[in-house]
Every structure is written in structure tokens, then in C-alpha cells.
Amino acid sequence: MLLSSHNILLLGSLLLFVSIISSKTSFRFGIPALILFLIVGMVAGSDGLGGIYFNDPKVAEFLGVVALTFILFSGGLDTKWESVKPVLKSGISLSTIGVLITAAVVGIFSSYFLNISLKEGLLLGAIVSSTDAAAVFSILRSRNIGLKGNIRPLLELESGSNDPMAYFLTVSFTFLVQNPDASIVSLVPKFLIGMGLGTACGYIFGKLMIYITNKIKLDIEGLYPVLILSMVFFTFSFTNFIGGNGFLAIYIAAIILGSSNFIHKKSLMKFYDGQAWLMQIIMFLTLGLLVFPSQIVPFIGKGVLLAVVLIFVARPIAVFIALARANLRWRKKLFISWVGLRGAVPIVFAMYPLIAGIQNAHMIFNLVFFISVSSVLVQGTMLPVVAKWLKVSVPEKLKRKFPLDIEIKDDLKAELLELDIPADSPIAGKAVVELDLPRSALIVLIHRDGKYLTVRGDTVIEGSDHLLIMADTKDVVKDIYACFHLKL
């Protein structure tokens, strides 16, 4: 079946619906939803039951770039500068040095193993060198995996910021394969200029987004998402136009915007979160339609070995070298190595050699597709298990038990705490009024025996109670823990 203007909306809506329903089932079996989206596209494609013929890498690449723009912007909005700042050096190291080492290890191995030129091997390594923002963001958040310390912001910063490096390497090695006489050294100035302009444009346009959004005072609230969308695409395209890295600019602008106050912030963040999910589904469906499973079968053996090298050799080496000076224990570094999820981004980048007409482009595309699917399926499925095995996950009892969606205004430095009171706690049997709570702290709710109790001054605290406490500043958190004889 050929796609046309008459049936594309019908088929598209059906595929979206099936994808969403399948994602609901996937959580029960611990399968990442992104894999289900991809499978739906493959089943509907030329080699599948749907028989929908789609074989246009240029259209797929365009949709992939648009989708990745949404995903990076949404991910940046949810990334707070306060949480990123402590891990900024480690994140930058992973997104640059880590990507470079991963590309080199996979590239050199691929050159010898696949009997291709070193530049073609490095091109393959560059394509699969970055972790996928869509995969990391969606799996960490949808699976509600609690991680100790600063692991989570570090992983999200890395996945959001390493695509620019992988993009630069992919485009560069595509150029080098096409132009054998060109030198790798000549690409260094382009890298520095691209990253420098991307950073500068991201900062400038991020600040500009805040100013325009707060000052324009639109009469129709529904136009605010459209306004920001226009600035997002302008930031990306303008940065690319002047020779900068558009993906880096988008992510930096989103972090600046998300860490600031602007009108309708909560509703806009929810809107773009939904749009990011829509774009993820569209991107994976499109890639599923584009791929021909029958063409992947001959490369399964090679793909398995390359996936093993990437997951168990290249990624760990890259992480341990990039984080050599970071104050992280080996367990955390090993877990960060495991969360090297590859997803749709490498598959999108694999289209550049196809569009350029490189000789081994089809082999590279099929191998990248298999490696990416294997990575999301194996690593994504095993994330909770590996986190518990390496003892980097937050114990289940510390996860939020109150089914509340409490929003605190961003200009307030308030803090919500959940505390478990031990059965033998010294404060068990005391009334709230008898506690030496800081004046700026308030016990909002008590969870006891499956019930939620409102709190008054004469309410007695019992052992095994679970308390929801609000503090107006983060400075009093230590005092609250000391009041309940708990260690922070």
C-alpha cells in the first residue's frame, strides 16, 4: 500500500492508536515502549502485515530531525540548572570525550571485523556513539526508577548534550568517506566553531525566549505554545545556518528557559512533554516503516557482536575514562555505563550516509538499526535489575507514597519531604505540638494503615507513620531530620 494524501491521516491515526495501546501492555512485561512503537511500524511496513510501502530516507531524516528537536527541547525544559550544575563537568566530559572514545573503539573494531576502510568504520562508530535522549528520558521517567545521588541528572544531561557531538562526527566522517584526500585535522576548527556558536546561540535565544514570552502579553493563551515553537525552530535553523550546532543550541536554550520563570510555565511544560511523546511515537513509527526486516536478517550475526562490543567494551571504557576525575564510586560508573541506551537518534544519523550515497551505506544502516534495537531492548529492560544489583537505586520505601500532584511555584524555594517514622522512634507517641519542628516546616499529611490523615496540633505521631512535610526553604531540611531523629 502506497502512502497518499487520502490515506495518510487514516493510517497515521490507526498506527498512533495501536502504538499507545501497545505501550500500556509493554509496561506490564517491562519492555520499553519505544521498542513497541518501532515494532508497530515494522509490522505495518512493506515486509509486514500492513504492506505500507515507505522508502524515502530524506523524508524520514527530516521527520527525525524535527522530532529530535522537540525531544531535546522538552528534555531541556525538565532539566533544572540547580540539579545539572553539580554534574556539569562530568556531563560535558561524557558528552564529548565519552562520545569520541566510544566512536573510536567501535570504529576501529568495525573496520577490522567488517573488512571496511578505517574511515567507514569510524563513521559507523560515530553514528552509534551517543546515548539517545528519547530512550533515556522516557525509560527513566516512565519506569519511575529512583537513583541515588546525582546519577539521574548526570544521565539526562549526558543524553541531552551528547547528540551534538555525535552529529558532528557523523557529518564529518560522511564527508571524509566521500573525500578521501581530506584531513581529519581540518575538521577541528569546524568542531570548535560549531560548538561555540551552538552554545552562544542557545544562551542568547534562551534568554530571548524568556523576555519575549513574558513581555508580549498575547490575548489568546493558546498562542503561547505556537510562539515558543516558532522560536525553537528559529533557534535550531538559524544556528545551523551560521555554522553552529543547532541541537546543542536547542538543548541549552531549553535548560535556560526551564530554569527561569515565564508566563504559563506549567501548562507549557506539560504541552511540550506531550508533544515530545508524540514525536517519539512518530519517529519510531517512521523508522519502523522505513526499515526492511528481510534486509536485516543477513546482518544479525555481525550486529550481535557489534552490540556486545558497544555495550560491554566501548561504553564502559568511555565512561571510566571520561569520569576518571569524577568523585563517583565504581558501582555508579558501571551503572552509567549500562545506561548507554541507543535508540532512534543513531538510526536517524545512519540516514546521512544513505542520502550521501556512500558505498556501504545500506550495510551501515542495517547494522545501526539492529544495534539500536538491541541496546534499547536489552539495556532498557534490565535497567531496574542492574540498578538494584549495583545498589544505586533508591529503596522502594523512600519513593513517594502520596498520590498527589502538588505544584510549587518556581519562584519559591519550597521543599516537599516524605519521612518514614521507625516503629521504635523516640518521637512515637508524641503529639505534633510537642515536636521541636522548625517554624517554617509543616506536616501536611500522615499515611497510616492505608489511610491519609489530616494533621492538627494534637495529632499523635505513631511508629511506622509516613509523613508528608513541607518546608519553605531547603536550609531547614537538616533541622527536620534532626527533629525526627533521622539521618539525612
CATH 1.20.1530.20 residue ranges in the chain? 8-395
- Rounded distance between C-alpha atoms, residue 124 and residue 368, angstroms: 8
Note whether 177 and 125 are within 8 A (CB): no
CA distances from 102 to 305, 318, 422 (A): 15, 6, 46
Alpha carbon distance 427, 447 (integer Å): 16
**400-483 — its CATH code?**
3.30.70.1450
Is residue 207 scored above 90 in pLDDT? Answer: yes
Q: Give the mean pLDDT of the chain.
A: 83
Distance of CA 116 to the CA centre of its chain: 32
Q: How confident is the model at residue 341 (pLDDT cuts 50, 70, 90)?
A: confident
Hey, what amino acid is at 431?
A: A
Give CATH 3.30.70.1450 domain extents, the chain. 400-483
Long-range CB pairs of 393-402, under 8 A, 24+ apart, other chains included: 393/145, 393/146, 393/147, 393/148, 394/146, 394/147, 394/148, 398/146, 399/144, 399/146, 401/447, 401/466, 402/445, 402/447, 402/452, 402/468
pLDDT the model gives residue 398: 44
The cell for 146 is 529512583
Q: Give the mean model confidence (pLDDT) for residues 305-332.
A: 92
Whole-number pLDDT of residue 465? 87
The CATH architecture assigned to 8-395 reads Up-down Bundle (1.20)
Q: Which residues contact 24 (CB under 8 A, 6 or more apart)?
A: none
Top pLDDT among 470 and 213 is at: 213
Place of cell 508533544: 275
Nearest to 341 by CA among 79, 160, 164, 171: 160
| Amino acid identity at 482 | A
- What pLDDT score was predicted for residue 373? 85
- Segment 428-441, tens digit of pLDDT: 888 888 888 888 88
Q: Is 410 a residue whose pLDDT tops 50?
A: no
Confidence category of residue 405, pLDDT binned at 50, 70, 90: very low
For residue 184, is pLDDT > 50? yes
Highest mean pLDDT among 18-22, 310-314, 345-349: 310-314
pTM of this structure:
0.75
- Mean pLDDT confidence for 34-39: 74
Please give the average per-residue pLDDT across 329-356, as a whole number. 88
| 3-state SS, residue 306 | helix
Digit-coded pLDDT (tens) for 224-246: 999 999 999 999 999 999 999 99
Distance (Å, whole) CA 328 – CA 89: 13
